[in-house]
Structure formats: C-alpha cells, structure tokens
C-alpha cells in the first residue's frame, strides 16, 4: 500500500495536492506544522501561513476528503533553526532567506522524520516544481514548474537525492488557474484564498522592529560613510538596511545614494551613487548540487541571486573546499550576502549555495 504524508498549509495549493495524491492511489494523511505558540500569534499572523485560521481551513479540507489530519508542534525547532539564523544573518550584515531555510529544516527534514515514523513513502507539498529521474546519470533532477509565474525551484535547491526520491510535487505541471478551478469544483473552503506573501513571523515587514523585540534591546546607531570612508550621516542600526537600498536613508545628496556594503565590525554602512552596486563575481558556501555530484572544471550555466530575478548567463567553478565561484557575463546589481545563488541548466536546477 502506497502511503503519503501531505504538508497542509491551509492554502489552496496543498489542498489540491492532497486531492491529486489521493487520486494517484495513495493512502494519505494530512499534517500541519505549528511554528508559533498561541501566545506568539497576533491578528497579523492570520494573514500568513501556519496560523490557527490556516489549521482550521486545513482541517475542513481534510475532513471533506476523509483523510486523517494532525498538527505537529515544531515551535522550538523553528525558533532555533529559522528565526535565530534570520536574526543573526541581519546582525552580521547579510540579508537572509528564511523561506529557503524553512523548506530545508522544517518541510524536508522534520516532515521527513514524521513521514518515516508513519510508514509513508512520500512527502507531498504544494510547491510548483517538477522532479524527474535521469536513468543515464542515475540521479533525480529538480526542474522548473510549467507555470513560470509560480515556479518555486529557487527555494528548493537544497533538496538531496534521498529527499527527491521521496518527494512528490503534484502541481509542477499545472497552472495556478487550473489549481483554483479544481478547488472550486470540489467546494474547498480555501478555493479563493489569497497566497501568503510575507515572512510568516514578520507579517508587517518590519524586520528591524522584530529583531529589536526578539533581542530585547535597542539597535545601535552608527555611521553612513562613502566609498572613501568619509562620514555622511548616522544610520539607525545596520539591520534596517539591505544591499541596493535607496529609500529611507535620510541623507541629502545631489544624486541618489544606495547601500553598497554593510560592515558589522565597524557598525558602518557604505553608500555609493550607483556604480559600486555592480559586481560580476560571487562566492557561495553551504553548496548543494542536484544534477551533478560535483562541478568539474568550468561549467556554463545561468544563475540568479534573488527569487524574482531572471537567470543570467555565467560560468561556475567549484573550489577544493566545496565552495563555488560564479562569474557572470555581465555585472549584476546588488549581489547580497546571505541570499541564495541558484544555478540552472535550462529548466534543470544544477544546485545552489549561500552567497558570502
């Protein structure tokens, strides 16, 4: 008997994924990860994933489909693996991507443990991406979704061969419109529910305010400086700023100024008029490769350094210590420490890593 554990977010994508998996002949069980204690939740959190409202929606959908449903508490793990890393990355002058970490440590680590304990063959999520097996390479491949406007392969580059063998993405070959049509036809309560857009634990987008409250202390101000070290003014604390930022600097200038470097050791933020934002080379660590076991020599690929960016042509080299060096054909704007660089060969995800 084929068994699948369905990651139920309370949204339309995971609900339709559950339905399609049932139709594939799997015996299914739905599960939602609780990432916050109830006292941590607020009215704002109801607009994101994993809130009590989402749990209620997931329960109603699973009841309609007649499959078991449970809520698993990962609040401690989420704080240690996701929130703490998020805060530390900002404090170290980087810009984190907690959704990538949540996929890595929560959905495809903790849920895999839950699936194994339940005797499930597959972990199913509502991600828009595709998995194929290449018999010649004897490797599982991660590929972009058919719906390019919903493709989520960028945030899934950390999947291992073992995980890819036991993951199922039912929506990878579908459009969002067709997914909603199925949900409406089935009468799902969340058929028209809006997609969650914000980071779940910072729904108002005030990262600095969240970090200040999390650490329980005021942020330390420091100097804005130019490329030569001349003081231009005072900043409100380095976590308020990201590479490429122009608005909210509060510095009078004859031409727009942008954040080009954040120096946590000196507590300084370096500003430039624009040219200093561009670079053609980056290094990344914590590398995971999917389509190949290792990059030998120079490999021609396309790469992107943020989720919404279009891939850009580049050459990647893997160093002896496992890190990768990516050299773009053309300089890229605001390459940011802490973000992910993901490598592509057409629709295939080669792999990726964290920009340092």
Q: Report the sign of the C-alpha dihedral through residues 321, 304, 296, 325, in that order.
A: negative
Give the active site residue among 49, 50, 120, 200. Answer: 200
**Pairing outcome for strands 298-304 and 278-289:** unpaired
Known binding site: residues? 7-14, 33, 126
CA distances (Å), origin 48, targets 36, 51, 150, 154, 201: 12, 7, 18, 20, 8
- Orientation angle between helical segments 12-23 and 52-65, nearest 10 degrees: 20
DSSP annotation of 275 reads G
- What is the C-alpha separation between 295 and 190, in angstroms, rounded? 43
Q: Using CA atoms, how far apart are residues 126 and 111, in angstroms rounded to an integer?
A: 14
Asked if 144 and 153 count as a contact pair (C-beta separation under 8 A), the reply is yes
Residue 320 Cα to chain centre, angstroms: 27
Residues tagged in the binding site annotation for ATP: 7-14, 33, 126
Distance CA 311, CA 344 (A): 8
Tokens of 50: 């994993």
Measured distance CA(203)–CA(173) in Å, rounded: 30
Taking a C-beta distance cutoff of 8 angstroms, is the pair 335, 327 a contact?
A: no
- Which helix (H) or strand (E) element contains residue 179? helix 176-186
200 as an active site residue: the answer is yes
Q: What is the three-class DSSP state of 278?
A: strand
Decide: 340 and 157 in contact? Cβ < 8 Å.
yes
**C-alpha to C-alpha distance for 197 and 221, rounded to whole angstroms:** 30
278: tokens are 């561009």
Decide if 104 contacts 158 (C-beta within 8 A). Answer: yes
Instruction: Please tell me which residue in 28, 49, 50, 102 is annotated as part of the active site.
Output: 102
**Residues known to be catalytic:** 102, 200
């Amino acid at each position: 008997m084929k068994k699948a554990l369905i990651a139920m977010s309370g949204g339309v994508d995971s609900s339709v994924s559950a339905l399609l998996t049932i139709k594939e002949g799997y015996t299914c069980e739905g599960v939602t990860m609780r990432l916050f204690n109830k006292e941590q939740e607020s009215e704002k959190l109801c607009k994101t994933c994993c809130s009590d409202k989402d749990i209620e929606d997931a329960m109603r959908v699973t009841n309609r489909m007649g499959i078991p449903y449970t809520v698993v508490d990962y609040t401690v793990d989420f704080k240690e693996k996701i929130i703490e890393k998020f805060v530390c990355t900002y404090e170290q002058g980087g810009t984190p991507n907690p959704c990538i970490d949540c996929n890595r440590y929560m959905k495809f680590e903790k849920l895999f443990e839950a699936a194994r304990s339940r005797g499930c063959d597959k972990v199913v999520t509502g991600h828009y991406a595709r998995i194929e097996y290449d018999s010649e390479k004897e490797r599982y491949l991660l590929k972009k979704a058919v719906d390019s406007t919903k493709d989520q392969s960028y945030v899934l580059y950390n999947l291992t061969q073992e995980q890819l063998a036991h993951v199922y993405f039912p929506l990878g070959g579908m459009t969002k419109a067709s997914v909603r049509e199925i949900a409406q036809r089935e009468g799902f309560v969340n058929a028209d529910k809006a997609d969650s857009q914000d980071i779940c634990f910072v729904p108002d987008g005030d990262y600095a305010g969240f970090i200040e409250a999390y650490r329980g202390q005021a942020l330390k101000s420091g100097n804005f400086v130019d490329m030569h070290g001349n003081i231009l003014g005072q900043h409100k604390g380095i976590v308020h700023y990201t590479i490429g930022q122009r608005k909210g600097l509060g510095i009078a200038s004859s031409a727009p100024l942008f954040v080009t470097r954040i120096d946590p050791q000196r507590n300084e933020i370096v500003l430039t008029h624009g040219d200093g934002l561009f670079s053609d080379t980056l290094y990344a660590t914590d590398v995971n490769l999917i389509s190949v076991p290792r990059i030998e020599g120079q490999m021609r690929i396309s790469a992107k350094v943020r989720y919404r960016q279009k891939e850009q042509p580049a050459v990647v080299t893997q160093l002896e210590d496992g890190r990768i060096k990516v050299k773009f054909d053309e300089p890229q704007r605001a390459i940011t420490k802490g973000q992910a660089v993901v490598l592509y060969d057409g629709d295939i995800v080669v792999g990726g890593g964290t920009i340092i």
